Chain A
Amino acid sequence: MDARITLRVDGRDRSLTVDTRTTLLDALRDHLSVTSPKKGCDHGQCGACTVLLDGRRVVSCLTFAVAHDGADVTTAEGLAEGGEPHPVQRAFLEQDGFQCGFCTPGQICSAVGMLEEVKAGHPSHVTDDLTGPVTLDDEEIRERLSGNLCRCGAYVNIVAALREEADS
């Protein structure tokens, strides 16, 4: 069964016809050729498909595109406005926060979404004082980015990249 939907992807309105079974991830990749979100597991267990959906980080593989008619989607490609890397992307470059690069767009979208959550005062599993302000130390960064697996083992450098962001 097909449905006609419109998505705003990386700042552009895109209309498309999707099978109701098409996930947001497949809509982006197969229908719109937006391939920066990656399919690492297709079951919400790796985070490679992370995008910002209406500003919040989500895994795009576990949601159907048809449920997001009218939504705003930002991918790692869209974070680089005019091709200029986003500060988080620059920090990844500086700290060598990736190797094969496959999980990287998801890591970056996740990191950008995470920084917003911190700004909003959201606690995490490792926050000592649930009612106090949140300080983004290394332990917090690690926990908050644990939804993005990296098999190359770039975590140490990813944390270093986000530490720069946390300090700035």
Chain B
Amino acid sequence: MQRRFPDLDAKRARLQAGGGQERIDKQHQQGKLSARERLALLYDPNSFIEFGLWATHRCAELAGKEFPGDGVVTGKGEVHGRPVFAFAQDFTVGGGAVGDRHAQKIVECLWAALKMGTPVVGFNDSGGARIQEGVEALSGYGKIFYHNVLLSGVVPQISVIVGPCAGGAVYSPALTDFIIMVDSTSHMFIAGPEVIRAATGEIISEEDLGGANAQAAIAGNVHFVARDEHEAVEVVKVLLSYLPQNNMEGPPDIPFEEPLPDDEALDWIVPEDPRQAYDVRDVITRLVDHTVFLEVQAVFAPNIVVGFGRMAGMVVGIVANQPAVMAGVLDINAADKAARFIRTCNVFNIPVVTLMDVPGFLPGVAQEHGGIIRHGAKMLFTYASITVPKVTVILRKAYGGAYLAMCSKDMGADSVLAWPTAEIAVMGPEGAVRVIYRKELEKASDPQALLQEKIEEYRQTHANPYRAAEAFYLDDVIRPSWTKRLVVERLGVLRGKRDLRPQKKHGNIPL
């Protein structure tokens, strides 16, 4: 059958083909997908509406060159029935380089998301700025960054790095809420290996410098590492399932009618010997529904565990010290990781459940000179300033400043529960005894025996939850097996929480 407007069909087909089949095949050979394939993975079938298919550059130096969509596909679609805006840079079109029209398309996508109160997902696969466009390209980046900041705290922004993302371009993802990288096909850095070699003489590969694992485990810039792009998009969908559409809504809680029986295994999870560790993730998976926990930044600062789960259907953010790694101490990286995550929860109205077993802040010259005071302060500042429901459970150690940094009652916890294994004190028994009985220990005929005797005495008087409970710093001392039920009850009570604060532009968090 003959169709009318054959020219239009041909033009549309050419634009939709991006840089052409040959270049798309090349993407596939590298384990990458095309921009449109990425959006197809993200969106429910037939839900995609494209903006700016016809838009292209207006650069005189590039006159005559065709850049379908100006190297980026933008639009709106649905993810499990919920509207989500997205843009996907098209590496097959001029290397996905950013020119002024390309940037305009992204900015208009961000604006639309802001107006509709809808999350935005960005797929970054770009060689960088389109050099021929000069300052216009730079201005494009600037406008994208500005809008990323404008949207921050209003709608969730998720960045997926699916190719190169270097130089100034890294700052768009860096300004968003979550970054997902794909192992071995994506790279992020400010200055690449060549520039570094010229500047400092250091020799390093792209992968070691800015590959997914380096960015996730060492730098801590990235929240998730996916094996391939399919998995990366799955992570986006799972992440969205915990987040509200915008800051005016609650997170997507789901109905939960099941009973919450006692979980006897929790009664046995903390070892008798205080020297021994346990994996706090075993506690977390017993508290969340169906053991489903989405750990965020799993490989960075693993001495603290953060992530999303549901408790009786309610979305919660969980922050937990990890005694199995570095004794669960708070250090610079752990403080940064936790503070960032807790603020993300607050912005999106997600209650925070804190599981405390912390021996203290990490001592050491590197930590002090690295600014542990400033970084640790972020945690204290964050817990005190967030207004979502906060429930803290003290599993074992709660020593000194770290006890306060992990959201004690005084730092704004709405409810604090403690297991009978809790030890709430200014410092651990041995350290405390050595300070209190320094003179006696020096004079003693058998200092070891005296030390042991005093440690035991200290344990009895300080290293337990009862003194703190009597002083009403704890709401209750509970059997660990009751934890889920009691935390859920308290979260239920806190649903209507209103936390009024003095008017200000914003607090001055130490950065």
Binding between chains A and B: no
- Identify the A interface with B (CB < 8 A): none
